[in-house]
Amino acid sequence: MNRLRLHSEEMYREELDELRIDDTRHRPANWQLSPHAVLTYLIGGRLKNGFEITPKYIGNKRLMEIAIATLTTDRALLLYGVPGTGKSWVSEHLTAAISGDSKLLIQGTAGTSEDAIRYGWNYAQLLAKGPSEEALVETPIMKGMREGRIVRFEELTRVPAEVQDTLITILSEKSMPIPELSAQIEAVEGFNLIATANNRDKGVNELSSALKRRFNTVVLPTPATQREELDIIRRRVASTSRALDLPLEESSLAQIEKIVTIFRELRHGLTTDGKAKLKSPSGTLSTAEAISVVNQGLSLSAHFGDGVLSSDDISASLIGAIVKDPVEDKTVFTEYMESVMKKRPEFRDIYLACKELV
């Protein structure tokens, strides 16, 4: 059975293997690659043998250097920013390159308990034999500590504050007490944590000052330029279209560029030429949402159209991404359509397609 999505270390196995062969620099304990090679894996480059490494992150190289350098120290890494800026994507690729396994993951939710972070119990074993090593249920953090690997913690600020603070001892002392066994787990070299949080959750379950000190925070911004964002979307859509067997024609790039222009203008509240101010909708209009709009359009085109991405294919999902509030956002988008899109000849087709649906 074909899996819908491969983990990063499986999807880019050839690149990681080539990097390991090429890599002659110092590797920290239990790292699969040196920090320099991890950076090459993230931002792309050409190896000495001519092998091409594709970029996984398109943006500020210095941010990736800071993120990688943090993981060589005793501080954990917090990737922070608006939804859709690639925090989870970067986190997964960092762990794939460093530990060779991105599957040690805790998904933070309002229902995440201390047991999901520290350890749990096999209650059948617990009742039969009492507290014992065999009755322990290993969590990703416990496994990462024992094996010296990087652990991912998604959406940390969605977790209740009292549960978040379970991490303080683990990150500061690099140990996990198990009072029921009068024992503790000692982290071996190579263990660290990459957490993600988005600023739309700020104030919901904000990190305590004690926990913040255990993290070095790297803020991932939205793409700085339209060309940069277009490149990100083109690469991600090309990867997804291959996995889902959806054709991506060269002619589709013009439609993708229109989506990027619309998203950036509404996100920044300003037209590309800087001549007109715009109202912004309530949503984030992130790069990830733009990718979803394109993928949805490609699916419609492949299964119900002629295989070429058209304005009719993307209009419904485009409106769905922009109009989150049926009253205020609809007004914002209608004004944008009439004052900006209608006046641009190259946007005429998408304007007419959206006008039928708004």
Residue 235 lies in a domain: yes
- Select from 197, 219, 241 the last residue of a domain: 219
Domain count for the chain: 2
Residues 236 and 334 in one domain: yes
Residues 74 and 176 in one domain: yes
Tell me which H or E stretch contains 76.
strand 76-81
Residue 134 lies in a domain: yes
Residues 210 and 231 in one domain: no
- Select from 219, 237, 266 the last residue of a domain: 219
Cβ neighbors of 58 (< 8 A, separation 6 or more) are: 43, 223, 228, 231, 232, 235
Residue 10 lies in a domain: no
Residues 266 and 321 in one domain: yes
- Select from 180, 202, 219 the last residue of a domain: 219
DSSP-assigned letter for residue 121 = E
Tell me which H or E stretch contains 198.
strand 192-198
Rounded to whole angstroms, how far apart are CA atoms 263 and 226? 10
pLDDT at 14: 97
Residue 193 lies in a domain: yes
Cβ neighbors of 239 (< 8 A, separation 6 or more) are: none
Q: Given the DSSP bridges, would you call strands 105-107 and 192-198 parallel, antiparallel or unpaired? A: unpaired
pLDDT at 83: 85
Residue 32 lies in a domain: no
Residues 65 and 202 in one domain: yes
**Of the candidates 146, 147, 166, the residue with the CA atom closest to the CA atom of residue 156:** 166
Residues 248 and 182 in one domain: no
Six token digits for residue 182: 């009068």
Do residues 202 and 64 lie in contact, with contact meaning Cβ atoms separated by under 8 Å?
no
Rounded to whole angstroms, how far apart are CA atoms 42 and 55? 6
Residue 19 lies in a domain: no
Residue 50 lies in a domain: no
pLDDT at 243: 67
Residues 209 and 69 in one domain: yes
Residue 38: what residue type?
V
Residues 255 and 309 in one domain: yes
Residues 233 and 144 in one domain: no
Residues 198 and 136 in one domain: yes
Residues 166 and 231 in one domain: no
pLDDT in tens, the chain (358 residues): 677 788 999 999 999 999 999 999 999 999 999 999 999 999 999 999 999 999 999 999 999 999 999 999 999 999 998 888 899 999 999 999 999 999 999 999 989 999 999 999 998 988 888 888 889 999 999 999 999 999 999 999 999 999 999 999 999 999 999 999 999 999 999 999 999 998 775 557 788 999 999 999 999 998 989 999 999 998 888 877 776 677 666 667 888 999 999 999 999 999 998 989 999 998 889 999 999 999 999 888 888 888 788 899 999 999 999 999 999 999 999 999 999 999 999 999 999 999 999 8
| pTM for this model (two decimals) | 0.89
**Of the candidates 293, 298, 314, 318, the residue with the CA atom closest to the CA atom of residue 244:** 298
pLDDT at 174: 95
Q: What is the CATH number of the domain that holds 207?
A: 3.40.50.300
Six token digits for residue 328: 């205020």
Do residues 266 and 322 lie in contact, with contact meaning Cβ atoms separated by under 8 Å?
yes
Residues 230 and 213 in one domain: no
Residue 5 lies in a domain: no
Range of the domain at 294: 226-355
pLDDT at 201: 59
